[in-house]
Structure 1
């Protein structure tokens, strides 16, 4: 189980090629990110607790802004270096999404 991240300039195509809108991707922290996000419950989370580790989750720039605040709190209480690196990578892409009008962050579970 892992979660890969892709930042897209617009809503990515689910069928066909999503590469047309791809700005940046992160594929190296999948398992650690899934483990870090699994500590969240849906009731105590605005956005990150709803990430599906087995499916796809899309955040638009407004949702990314809310999730950015959540990931900061997760990083502060994280003691695992691999999970912390994954969360920092997620935080960077959430910030980029927030700063890019019309963009989406695609979290792809497997």
Structure 2
């Protein structure tokens, strides 16, 4: 399963699946394992927003975190060994961009 992504127009309600669907703008569910593999190449002791993503739990980025994380995408793309990982990172970049450009939005990283 890996890490799935959901872009929400407002802070998603984690307590109820049906309630969180009300704010859902876009989801990415096809790159979960590849995204997990790509993010696992980052040093967890280093700086940066993407290092904060919990592969086993949920992580939520607001507009400012998304904008900061976008600066990490070129380095993360260089670390990709497989095309599936690069595709996952490009999809992540698109969702981070959308989040950074959508006032009040959140990007939800849903771990295993």
**TM-score, shorter chain, exceeding 0.5:** yes
CA contact (8 A) 1:72 1:91 kept: no
Q: 1:65 aligns with which of 64, 67, 89?
A: 67
Q: TM-score, normalized by length of structure 2?
A: 0.93
Structure 2 CA distance for aligned equivalents of residues 91 and 45 of structure 1: 18
Paired residues of 1:3 and 1:109 also in contact (CA < 8 A): yes
Q: Which position in structure 2 is the counterpart of 1:4? A: 4
Paired residue secondary structure (2:13): coil
Give 5+ residue unaligned stretches, structure 2: none
In the aligned structure 1, how far is the partner of 2:66 from the partner of 2:23?
17
Counterpart CA distance in 2 for 1:78 and 1:25 is 22
Structure 1 stretches of 5 or more lacking a match?
none
Aligned with residue 40 of structure 2, among 27, 38, 41? 38
What is the alpha-carbon distance in structure 2 between the residues aligned to residue 48 and residue 104 of structure 1?
14
Does residue 76 in structure 1 map to residue 99 in structure 2? no
Per the TM alignment, residue 49 of structure 1 is displaced from its structure 2 partner at its CA by: 0.7
Q: RMSD over aligned Cα, in angstroms?
A: 1.0
Greater shift, 73-82 or 97-106, is seen at: 73-82
Measure, in 1, the Cα distance between the counterparts of 2:37 and 2:79: 14
